[in-house]
Amino acid sequence: MILRPFLDDVAILTKVAAKKTSGVLGDDLALNAQQVSGIRAERELPVVWAVAMGSLINKAILVPVALIISVLANWLIMPLLMIGGLFLCFEGSEKLWHLIQTKFSKKIKEEDEHHHKKHLEHLVLSDVELVQLEKRKIKGAIRTDFILSAEIIAIALGTVATLPISIQISVLISVSLFITIGVYGLVAAIVKLDDLGLHLLKSGATGVREIGRMILKLAPYLMKTLSIVGTIAMFLVGGGIIAHGVPAIHHWIEDIGKHTSSFYFLWSLVAEGLLGLLCGLLVLIVFNLIVRRFFKSKLT
């Protein structure tokens, strides 16, 4: 009888925490699907599995660290959340800026074409070189996952920071498992989508072949859509974290929302998204003008 309410609380809070980390999840999904691209078809699933195991190890390190912070330095949770929110906004702005540069900068276009040529060269590598490529991709994906997992754990911890330690432990473990299984299950499905399309295309039935042809046509656009959705979610989630971390901004959004009660959810979504975009652009400007110039001056 006592266990059931506890499990119900954990399930509800896990759902809330997963919802709050949606911006990171979109980026996590898109990045990991991109990381395992260029691998031989028969090696795609083993590579995804290896990265998923690395992701679990990352979370096995991060969850205890997060719990120690919660117990010994609870005051650090909000600053860490704000840093995570700003980092999400910065990443989103960097992606947006790169997209603009790609459209209008000849140099960036040439760099992207060079990257594409390098990707095509991977298709003609020897077996030994392909194994080395796999190892590099797995290590790179696990490093990326560590950063994204840290953001996810920090956001999840902020959701349950004031609750008993038993609930914190259960929610963080549940979120870690749920996210890892969900993200890498979808990554596995995405990287095998073209194989499914080819399999259906070779089928004898006309209707099934048409479905296979449609899948092959749509597959290239899926990653672009994931990237766009992930970027928008970064601004929404990052802006939401910042808004809730700064009471004046949160109250301002609420006060205006009271006058638009019918559209309050839409207003808060747009306001937090624009706040995320603004904060991301400011961090991007500071990073480009100060940090990069500082390191450049040190190197010259």
Rounded CA-CA distance 296/300 in Å is 6
Lookup: tokens for 97: 């800026």
Three-class SS of 183-227 = HHHHHHHHHCHHHHHHHHHCCCCHHHHHHHHHHHHHHHHHHHHHH
CA-based torsion, 96, 100, 105, 110: positive or negative: positive
Lookup: tokens for 194: 């073209």
Q: What is the pLDDT of residue 18?
A: 65
Lookup: tokens for 237: 């989630």
pTM above 0.85, yes or no: no
The model's pLDDT over 256-280, given as tens digits with 9 standing for 90+, comes to 777 766 677 788 888 888 999 999 9
Rounded CA-CA distance 21/142 in Å is 19
Alpha-carbon radius of gyration of the chain:
22
Rounded CA-CA distance 81/74 in Å is 12
Task: Give the residue from 83, 72, 39, 299 showing the smallest Cα distance to 191.
Answer: 39
What tens-digit pLDDT sequence spans the chain (300 residues)? 445 555 566 666 666 666 666 656 666 666 666 666 666 667 778 888 888 899 899 999 999 988 888 888 878 878 887 887 888 788 888 888 877 877 776 655 555 555 555 554 545 555 666 677 778 878 877 887 787 788 788 878 877 777 788 888 888 888 888 888 888 888 888 877 777 787 777 776 777 778 888 887 887 777 677 777 777 877 887 888 888 888 888 888 887 777 766 677 788 888 888 999 999 999 988 888 877 666 655 545
Judge contact between 274 and 239, C-beta under 8 A.
yes
Q: Which amino acid type is present at position 148?
A: L
Q: Give the domain ranges of the chain.
A: 3-299
Between the CA atoms of 240, 20, 172 and 190, what dihedral angle is there, to the nearest 10 degrees?
A: -130
What burial class does residue 21 get, using C-beta atoms within 10 Å of its C-beta: 0-12 exposed, 13-18 middle, 19+ buried? buried
